Amino acid sequence: MPEKIEIHPLLDREKQRRAKEYNRRKRFWSVITSITELVILVILVMYGAGNRVYNYLAGLPPLFQFLLWATILAVGAELLSLIPGIESEYMLEKKYGFMKQSFTGWLTDLLKSTLIGIVIAWIVLLLLGWVVKLTGPWWWLVFAGALFFLEGILAMIFPVVILPLFHKYEPIGDENLTGKLKEILERAGIRVIGFYREDSSRKTGHDNAFFTGFGKTRRIVLYDNLIDNYTVDEIAAVIAHEAAHRKKNHIIKLLLLNLILTAVISFVVHLVMLKSYHSFFEGGVHILKNIFPFILVFSLMMFIAGILTNAISRIFEREADTYALKYTGSKEAFISMLARLANRNLSDAYPGKWIKVLFMSHPPIGERIAYIEKQI
């Protein structure tokens, strides 16, 4: 890290140098993956690949066509990102000391993720065909609403159906820790069904904690790395931040924002289809003829929308930091927690302006620490 950059005393300069290198390489492979997918999609659209595959599968039952198409799309997306994924998610994590899994274990988790992706692709593609067929010119609005409810269902089942496929969970037995966390939640007026320890250290050296689930599945999950390497007050600061998100309804607001953006993006897709791909509006299996231009336009619009979503997310993160201080009453614990996260996770505390704008959903840790230090 350049000596001219002044960093906070709790941040390790050498680790910040490595953090910049680590994150630069992660971004490189992310961009390579995105460009590869974009080029492939453009080629598929130019050569009418959707029509060709549709004609090839035309004799099959409609339901089987949907399932086969969804499988092809999900597996194809994974294959396109496989080489960059190996480099970014396994080799790079291994090089910087985070990856604890064997390559076979990592591939096993990738296979599980792919199978989950196939099931979700089945649901979304069937939903799209059905909505277009039944609602005609209003498909874009109904489809956005349907995806909103699907996201809600997935969020509800995520901690009890999907997470256990990858990790083991057990209630946290440290009453000193859980007692402190309950105090934080009581101040925030938040209820959860329990506190759970995730055996993340089997797979990664990263530290994290999160709220997950809705209603009767709502819970707090702590990585065992976090429990074993942070003080009780620092862990309380992490949970206070997450509790502030819940108290200020940031998750709901982001879901509603996503609903609006999905409707807008779907309407733009609608206009493109209306101009150039009329068979799309027959609905049912006919949408498969035009699935590649649909994905291309949708993906480009999602990239633009992602920049806006990240900007709003950074505002919410700043608000959560402010309220978390009220719940903990300790700037020192909050700052030491952020510094420890940056040092242990190799988070770039002082990225460039455009890195923040294009890639970051959270304010850089350097900014967050400076902001908290100014609070009374």
Q: Which residue, chain included where needed, has tokens 């302006």?
A: 353
pLDDT over 70 (residue 43): yes
Classify each residue of 228-266 as buried b or exposed e, where b means 16 or more C-beta atoms within 10 Å of its C-beta.
eebebebbbbbbbbbbbbbbbebeeebeeebbebbbebb
Determine what percent of the chain is predicted with pLDDT higher than 70: 98
343-374 per-position pLDDT tens digit: 999 999 999 999 999 999 999 999 999 999 98
What is the C-alpha end-to-end distance of the chain, expressed in Å? 31
> What gap in Å lies between CA 327 and CA 244, rounded to an integer?
8
Closest to 249 (Cα-Cα) out of 302, 202, 201, 189: 189
Beta bridge partners of 169: 198
Specify the pTM: 0.88
Q: Are 93 and 204 in contact (CB under 8 A)?
A: yes
The predicted pLDDT at position 142 comes to: 96
How is the chain split into domains, by residue range? 13-168+246-373
The predicted pLDDT at position 1 comes to: 54
The predicted pLDDT at position 207 comes to: 94
Where residue 376 falls among pLDDT bands split at 50, 70, 90?
Answer: low
Where residue 274 falls among pLDDT bands split at 50, 70, 90?
Answer: very high
Where residue 3 falls among pLDDT bands split at 50, 70, 90?
Answer: low
> What gap in Å lies between CA 109 and CA 120, rounded to an integer?
17
140-199 per-position pLDDT tens digit: 999 999 999 999 898 888 888 999 999 999 999 899 999 999 999 999 888 888 899 999
